[in-house]
Amino acid sequence: MPKEIKLCLVYRDMWQSAGKYVPRVDQLNKVGQPIVDMNCFARVETNGGGFEQVNLLFGENPNRAVREWTQPFNDAGIQTQMLERGLNGIRMSPVPADVRRLMFKVKKKQGTDISRSFDGLNNPQNLANSFKFAQEGGMIAQAALSLTFSPLHTVDYYVDLADKYLDLGAQEICIKDMAGIGRPVSVGKIVAGIKKRHPNILVQYHGHSTPGLSVASSLEAARAGADIIDVGMEPLSWGTGHADLLTIHAMLKDAGFSMPEVNPDAYMHVRSLTQEFIDDFLGQYINPKNRYMNSLLIGPGLPGGMMGSLMADLEKNLASVNKWLTKNNKPNITQDDLLLKLFKEVEHAWPKLGYPPLVTPFSQYVKNVSLMNVMGMIKGKPRWSMIDENTWGMLLGKSGKLLGPLGDEIMKMAKDQNREFFTGTPQDLYPDELELFAAKMDEKGWDYGQDDEELLEYAMHPQQYEDFKSGKAKENFLKDLEARKAKSNPQPKAAAIVPLAGGAAQNYQPKSLNLNINGEQFKVSIGYDDAANPAAEDTNNNAKVDAPQAAAAPANGYPHDDSLDSILAPLEGKFYLTKDTGEVPIKVGDEVKEGQTVAYIESMKVINSVTSDKSGIVAAIVARHGEEIEEDDVILKLK
């Protein structure tokens, strides 16, 4: 009798491996039943990872989205699963234990059956609470082995790791091949090794297709005893996503496995709806390069889930680099140039950073440090000039022990900066906070929501939740979307045609404009050459302001004063005076010493410390807390 094998549609991951956002709740509601009607999935990945956070970012309540989106699968008996980041819960930074415990209770009540929990460093101590809390909340606790390829990450290492996870309470095992660089034979050996020791434990294989190995890996995993294979489907399969449902289905059926047939009409319906969502707005956040497979990623091993946001980030980084190159009379570079430099630098930096598996959030850390190295070296700065605080936390052991040793230059920097290594339990660094956030909600008059789901959302994503509640998130999203649409569909500019009294028409061109430059108002007269407008004149007798004078308005609207020193932003991003609720912000009149951290910039999903390169007294705080800032903008003025 042929062995039965099941399929899981990773619909959430399909979107986040392609771009920045996921569909709105009304769109998810349209596609849910058609996915059920395909009649070939035992499981669907519905939420977790960045799902809840990106819902907040475009101004939608993620709790409503999860409840409504999981309902058709719950009704049909199809299991739903979420991705959970262990110590980091469903965000990029560590989460207090009481918030993590509430998360599992809420997500189960919202309709999620299985928690796929992974630790970015494969540290069992960080997942013990995940397995415990998941089962307390009524969920199935699945442990994910974050697969990577290095001299230290061997087949035996992963088989032994599965033992440790199962001993801590995991009920299932996932082989999480997030970059698709697991060699197929090795993937098969890992599955076979786990099944030999634990024949009754369910094993699920999850592989991204990015460098092209995952189809073979899926077959090897199935032959070795895997029970479920994760798949994507058109128009979001392949590229940085996952192997396509139809390909995997045909391959496994030919190999002799038993599986349900795909309903072709429902398949085409889901395919069509997914394309409809892309055409609506989601395609504005999908870089075309993420739709292609790329064997160059075998070397750096960056994961598909990160490539979606990486290409969006790279646009800003490229603009920053080319701005500097232009200013210094050097030739500009292309996005491909920058990407290849980044890939090469990741290969150089990764071993020196202790070989962390390249999965969220540590793939972001390695990528960000590598990118800062590349951008710094282009600008003539030495390697390692800027390491963000999140990465330092990883290097110092605050997320658990790294598998490999740190490079000599990293160790020297830690010593020179008086940084201390941590050897305790990472969760102990993050005390409980639910009562704190409950008190804040009470002060604001906000309801905790059904099953305390709004309290969870606020405690999990404080800044994003506040922006969502105020409407700022939706406003910012709509502005960004309009800008992207305008950029992708530029409209030709034409002079307005104004009819004359006699019925004829003439070109109307403005003679003056009111301009707002960095908070200062300028009324500017406009002159045209004789060919354009021979009758042009300043009929309103307005004083003219030359363009160079207007452009010379001081940065950030702060008056020029040669006696004050400026602290400049080292990169673009969102500016914050503090990085957490317990920190005291710097204020006017404070003394600042050279090398002191004075503020933070959130960029590329991590917090970067801004250190002062001078000593003095704070005369003015120019940048605004919570607002976007550009590289080289003035942050502080010192006297």
pLDDT tens digits along 296-333: 888 888 776 666 667 767 887 888 889 889 989 999 99
Q: Mean of the per-residue pLDDT values for the chain?
A: 87
CA nearest 509: which of 501, 498, 524, 519? 498
525 within domain boundaries: yes
274 within domain boundaries: yes
Q: Which residues contact 95 (CB under 8 A, 6 or more apart)?
A: 87, 88, 89, 103, 430, 460
- pLDDT tens-digit readout, 228-269: 999 999 999 999 899 999 999 999 999 999 999 999 999 999
Whole-angstrom distance, CA of residue 210 vs CA of residue 229: 17
71 within domain boundaries: yes
Residue 518, sorted as left (phi over 0), alpha (psi -120 to 50) or beta, turns out to be left
Q: Does 113 share its domain with 207?
A: yes
Q: Does 333 share its domain with 274?
A: no
Return the sign of the alpha-carbon dihedral for residues 477, 482, 487, 488: positive
363, β-bridge pairs: none
Structure tokens that stand for 47 in this block: 């939420």
Q: Does 140 share its domain with 275?
A: yes
Residue range(s) defining the domain that contains residue 72: 6-286
1 within domain boundaries: no
Q: Which helix (H) or strand (E) holds 453?
A: helix 453-460
Q: How many distinct structural domains can be found in the chain? A: 4
Whole-angstrom distance, CA of residue 225 vs CA of residue 207: 16
Q: What integer pLDDT is reported at residue 143 of this predicted model?
A: 98
Q: Does 307 share its domain with 280?
A: no
Q: Does 545 share its domain with 598?
A: no
Q: Does 112 share its domain with 73?
A: yes
pLDDT of 548 strictly over 60 = no
Q: Does 186 share its domain with 46?
A: yes
Answer whether 586's CB lies under 8 Å from 618's CB.
yes
Q: What integer pLDDT is reported at residue 531 of this predicted model?
A: 39
Q: Which residues contact 328 (CB under 8 A, 6 or more apart)?
A: none
pLDDT of 542 strictly over 70 = no
Which string of DSSP letters, residue by residue, matches 61-121? -HHHHHHHHHHHHHHHT-EEEEEE-GGGTTSSS---HHHHHHHHHHHHHHT--EEEEE-TT
Ramachandran angles phi, psi of 80, nearest 5°? -110, 145
Answer whether 228's CB lies under 8 Å from 6's CB.
yes
β-pairing, 6-9 with 228-231?
Answer: parallel
Q: Does 535 share its domain with 625?
A: no
Q: What is the pTM of this model?
A: 0.79
Mean pLDDT within 533-541 = 35
